[in-house]
Structure 1
Amino acid sequence: MNYEAGVIAEKGETISVDFEPVDQAAEEKRRSDRRKIIIIAVLIVLGLAIAAFFAMRGNGTTTPAGDENAQAPTVTVVTPGRTTVEGQITATGTLAARREMPVGVVGEGGRVVSVPVDAGDWVRQGQVLASIDQSVQSQQVQSAAANIQVAQADANLAQANLDRALQLVERGFVSTADVDRLTATRDAAVARVRVAQAQLRELRARNARLNIVAPASGYVLERNVEPGQTVSAGSPALFRIARGGEMELAAKLGESDLANLTVGTTAQVRPVGVDKLFTGSVWQISPVISQQDRQGTARIALPYAPELRPGGFATTIIASGTIVAPILPESSVLSDDKGSYVYIINSENKAERRDIEIGQVTRAGIVVNSGLTGRERVVLRAGGFLNPGESVNPQTAESN
């Protein structure tokens, strides 16, 4: 213990004051106990408040009916109705020549001496595409022409002998048998002339077939021959020509889409990597359906254009008449692994999922082929934040 003493001098007297000892450890303990009691009390009060909050939330009878609607999210809904739109079928396919002509060796072939055309050139019917060496054949033609002259000389001599014999037979110097023999000799000589002439024409025709010529006017797609190359009747096609330069798109379509098409239907074609649209028409519809993918082919005729390259990929939009269907804004249509869907609000103001099948995309919105009648209240936007069965406050969108 500590003792303190003070001496106060007043009026000449000395006063002695004694102070009581102070226990500091006991004081600190009392303060710590008070803090603990306060903290425990606060925690108890807070726990009771939390328990009361959850109890009130779990008991539906304690919440007024109006409060539930007030707390429900507000969503904007539209009633799409049904609109008449031009039907369209979108498909993909491969570009090709409408009438492709492979051109190969017609004659006996030989060594190529010149190729005056290349891929990408326009050619006319009968134009020489490749020339074959004809040095040997030229000598054969000259020989055949000489044989004609020999045969003609023999025929002229036989005719002269016959003419002289006919003059002498009247005088009795030549018998009738000699005249018959000379007549036969003359006829044989004339026949040999005709044979020689036919052989010459045959050689010239063969020589003409040595050159590779265009069977029709068109656009050269491929050139597969070079000067110096030896070709024969068994060689692959040396050239490929698109007759008239006409192209086509072989579009793959399902059975139902093919049923809605007719020959002559207009189509818009866009090749990959090209911003330009090309107008064509369906000129042939496949009479059979593939058993593997249940699809058929619609062939769309297209005029020549440099952007239409055979073998390229393209998309097409084919007109298929008019249809009557609901049209929704893009913000209303959602999708997941199961497909496309929308949220509709039922009579109890609760959200319901409705699976739909979407069609073409127009300026007015997305056409709904099936799943909606058009009289439903469809959530316009923010449908991805709703859950099936969730209560909402529907608000009809204002018409523009």
Structure 2
Amino acid sequence: MSNQCIDVTKKRTLFGGNLKYILGFVIFILLMVAGIYWKKISTKPAVSYSQWNKPVPVRITPVQRNDLDIEIKAIGTVVPAHIVNVQSQVSGVLQRLYFKEGQWVKKGQLLAQIDPAAFEVALAQAEGLRQQNLAQLHHAQTELLRYQLLFKQDSIAKQQVEQQQALVNQLKGQMQSHRAQVHAAKLQLSYTKIYSPIDGRVGFKQKDTGNLLQANESTGLVTITQVHPIYVQFAVAEHHLMGLRESLTSNHQLQASAWDKAEQKQLAIGHIQALDNQIDLSTGTVKLKAVFDNRDDRLFPNQFVNIRLSSQIIKNAVNIPSDAVQHGAKGSYVYIINKNNRAELKTVKLGLSSKGQVEVLDGLNGTEKVVLEGIDRLSEGKEVNIISDQQSSRFVTESAAG
């Protein structure tokens, strides 16, 4: 019995010693974890504060003061100089066509023939009536001369002479009418031949031979477009109007160039021919028309093209890259770098822009340097680190990744 008590006492002693050891080890681990955590949270604000005060890498560019060529861009539609819907002026059967679809024709070139038989008959009838009337007139005039001679001999009454004179006058009037009928018949006969009214290119025919053409039919026979020269109509914002008017009234041609849709290939060079007489209130734009020689036929009717034109040259203009300009609640602004290498926010008033440059009307004097890259990280008074153009691409990549 005593031996059993001794064993139990030993076990309790051993268990109590182990428990103290385990508790001590756990407390040690917890203290070590707490120390590591405290070190992390105590040093993190210092690191964050250090990163916030680190100079911001930026790329700068000097403000320019030079002549600024204002280039206007617009989308235009190519319009032929003339477009004619060739119609028949008389009704008749289409006998023959003298053109091929799509070919070039000259003004006065024969295009088609309408059956002339009925018109030739009408002309012959008119000629016959005129000849008949002419014979009657000659006879009446001869009789009048004879009556006048007899009247002088006191052989006939004056009334007979007057009646014969009236007959002659009546026949002269009929003669004039018949002559006009002959001219009308000849004119109608001439209309059986259809000629091109302009130089140009013919389109697809609307009638085949053997069909009956009606006079002044709306569909017509064929359409002809004159494309030498050719026009492009386009619209620009009304704030360009003053500069355009000054250029157009200075007795020199305002050059315009036409480009393809991708603006990669120049199609033609021409000049502004006309400015519309009013502003479109619904769009706030004014229409212009440019003319192009188009001898190489690179411009086609109803084609959409991009138009570029130099509207004016602003002398000694203060200007900066458009990418340097930011927009906020107080308007447009830029960041400049002062002599202490710190950023300063400058509110600016902008003018016209062209080719990536924008005119600065107020806010800069032309001696500053504006921030072009790294603007999104800047604030008033922020210290900067100016990078070179060679470092710019790497900076942009790192900024995007950050």
1:256-297 deviation line (CA, Å, top 9, x unaligned) = 212112332111122436823311111111121111112111
**1:164-179 equivalence runs, <5 A:** none
Q: Report the counterpart of residue 367 of structure 1 in structure 2.
A: 357
Distance 1:68 1:242, change over 3 A: closer
Q: Note if contact 2:64-2:320 (Cα within 8 Å) is conserved in structure 1.
A: no
Question: For residue 391 of structure 1, what is the aligned residue in structure 2?
Answer: 382
**Contact 2:56–2:378 under 8 Å retained in 1:** no
- Could you say what secondary structure the match of 2:280 adopts? coil
Residue 335 of structure 1 and its aligned partner are, at CA, apart by: 8.5
CA contact (8 A) 2:343 2:378 kept: no
CA offset at residue 205 of structure 1?
0.9
Matched, 1:136 2:129: no
Question: Structure 2: how far apart are the matches of 1:338 and 1:230?
Answer: 70
Q: Distance in 2 between matches of 1:41 and 1:226?
A: 103
Higher RCO structure, 1 or 2 (CA under 8 Å, sep 6+): 2
Query: Within 5 Å, which residues of 2 pair with 1:243-254?
Result: 243=226, 245-254=228-237
The amino acid across from 1:368 in the alignment is V
Work out the percentage of aligned pairs sharing the same amino acid.
18
- The amino acid across from 1:42 in the alignment is M
Change (3 A) 1:236 1:372: farther
In the alignment, what sits opposite 1:379?
371
**In the aligned structure 2, how far is the partner of 1:339 from the partner of 1:108?**
69
- Alignment partners' CA distance in 2, 1:234 and 1:326: 62
* 1:31-83 deviation line (CA, Å, top 9, x unaligned): 5434313311211221332343257579x9xx9xxx986x3233332322322
- Rg bigger for which structure? 1
Q: CA RMSD in A?
A: 4.6
Amino acid at match of 1:376: E
Look up the equivalent residue of 1:378 and give its one-letter code.
Answer: V
The answer for the alignment partner of 1:9 in structure 2 is none
Q: What residue number does 1:18 align with?
A: none
Give the gaps of 5 or more residues in structure 1: 1-20
Question: Aligned ranges for residues 119-268 of structure 1 at < 5 Å?
Answer: 120-151=102-133, 195-215=177-197, 217-220=198-201, 222=203, 225-227=206-208, 228-233=211-216, 235-236=218-219, 238-243=221-226, 245-261=228-244, 262-263=247-248, 264-268=253-257
Residue identity in the other structure for 1:37: I
Distance (whole Å) between structure 1 residues aligned to residue 206 and residue 330 of structure 2: 54
The alignment's TM-score, normalised by the length of structure 1, stands at 0.70
Letter in structure 2 aligned against 1:275: K
CA contact (8 A) 2:55 2:385 kept: no
Equivalent residue pairs, number: 362
Which TM-score applies when normalising by structure 2? Answer: 0.70
What's the counterpart of residue 282 of structure 1?
272
In structure 2, relative to structure 1, the CA distance for the partners of 1:222 and 1:40 (3 Å cut) is same
Match of 1:294 in 2: 284
Aligned mate of 2:64, from 70, 81, 103: 81
The structural deviation recorded for 1:88 is 1.9
Q: How many Å apart are 1:124 and its aligned residue? A: 2.9
Query: Taking structure 1 as reference, are residues 177 and 101 closer, same or farther at Cα in structure 2, changes over 3 Å only?
Result: farther
The whole-number CA distance in structure 2 between the counterparts of 1:123 and 1:115 is: 13
- Which structure has more helix as a fraction of its residues? 2
1:72 counterpart (45, 52, 55): 55
Q: CA–CA distance in 1 between the matches of 2:14 and 2:41?
A: 42
